[in-house]
Amino acid sequence: MAQDAKQGPAPNGSHDKGKTCQAERERNLSHELTSRAAVMRSMRKPWEPLTRTVSFDVRFLFASNVNLEQSVKDGLFRKDLYRRIGGSFNKIEIPPLRSRKQDIPLLANYFAGRFAAKYNVKYKISDDAVDLLYNHEYKEGNIGELHTLIEIACENSRIDGDGIITKKHFPSININKNGKAKFDNEKKSIFNESEEKKLSVLRENYFRIDISEEQLGFKTGSKTLSHYLRGMSLKALSYTEWRMNDAIKLIIGKDLNGKTEDMIKTKMSGYIKNINSKKNTKEETSLFTNLPKEYHKYLSTAIKELKKEL
């Protein structure tokens, strides 16, 4: 995805001088840059739209979460394109958050400031909350993880109405016996190892599908993880004999907050509503579309149970 430093239509069909264009968040950065190559080449020389000569003063910033130098060696990224964007001589390597924890207070306050502006409130992060964030074991995509943690904490603090973010506003972080902060997800025997891995990542990211897909290696936007979550929800409902509250606890674990519980309840209710709308119709078989095969039996059971209510 390409992002501009400033947005909106350009006056007179062109942007002001000093503009910065940023290309990031695109897993296939080579594809994005190739599509923009003609535009980049056209900026090498002045152009005359109608009555005046225009020179370009534009900076490009390219960001990637993969090792482009290694990708060039592996033949996955064009060598000439890597050279053209200055990757071989003008690159800035930003270490992961877990390797520069001194930045955590600064970033935490920055994110809190953004949410403060959004909600028109003031937030103050207490020292114990900063210590908790400092000792947390950040995973891949850790800036996004910190952003999500602060978002949840701000929402919890806003509900409390005190404006002070403390340890209690991070319900999904616990302290183990070594003093390290970590997510504590209770293992449930009804799920296998593969399912537990997916649920663990989902819980860490507060069930943000887009972030979790990236960490689990699914193609972003493929909805594969959403289909697995639907299947695991049907499995949980089946094992709890359709007691939704119990099924929700199996999915979210024991330490996530009420907001997450409400979100999963909405999803489960949606799954059931969809089954009800298509059972005994020509569209009933479409319920199995994209659902992983290991969950077909739970969907079949759900359809049978809901038909009994007729």
Residue range of the domain that includes 164: 97-182
- Are 159 and 199 contained in the same domain? no
What pTM did the predictor assign? 0.43
Task: Using the 3D structure, point to which of 128, 148, 182 is the last residue of a domain.
Answer: 182
Contact between 230 and 264 under an 8 Å Cβ cutoff? The reply is no
The tally of domains found in the chain comes to 3
Task: Evaluate whether residue 234 is within a structural domain.
Answer: yes
Task: Using the 3D structure, point to which of 36, 59, 84 is the last residue of a domain.
Answer: 84
pLDDT in tens, the chain (310 residues): 344 444 444 445 455 455 555 555 444 555 555 555 555 555 555 556 666 776 666 777 777 777 888 888 888 888 888 887 777 777 777 778 877 888 889 999 999 999 888 878 888 999 889 888 988 887 755 788 888 889 888 888 888 887 899 988 888 775 544 444 544 444 335 888 899 999 999 998 889 999 999 999 998 888 999 999 999 999 999 888 788 888 898 899 876 667 888 899 999 999 999 999 999 999 999 999 999 999 999 999 899 888 876 5
- Are 163 and 200 contained in the same domain? no
Identify the residue whose tokens are 């270490």: 95
Task: Using the 3D structure, point to which of 84, 107, 135 is the last residue of a domain.
Answer: 84
Identify the residue whose tokens are 């404006």: 163
Task: Evaluate whether residue 233 is within a structural domain.
Answer: yes
- Are 60 and 119 contained in the same domain? no
Task: Evaluate whether residue 188 is within a structural domain.
Answer: no
Task: Evaluate whether residue 89 is within a structural domain.
Answer: no
Task: Evaluate whether residue 60 is within a structural domain.
Answer: yes
- Are 202 and 296 contained in the same domain? yes
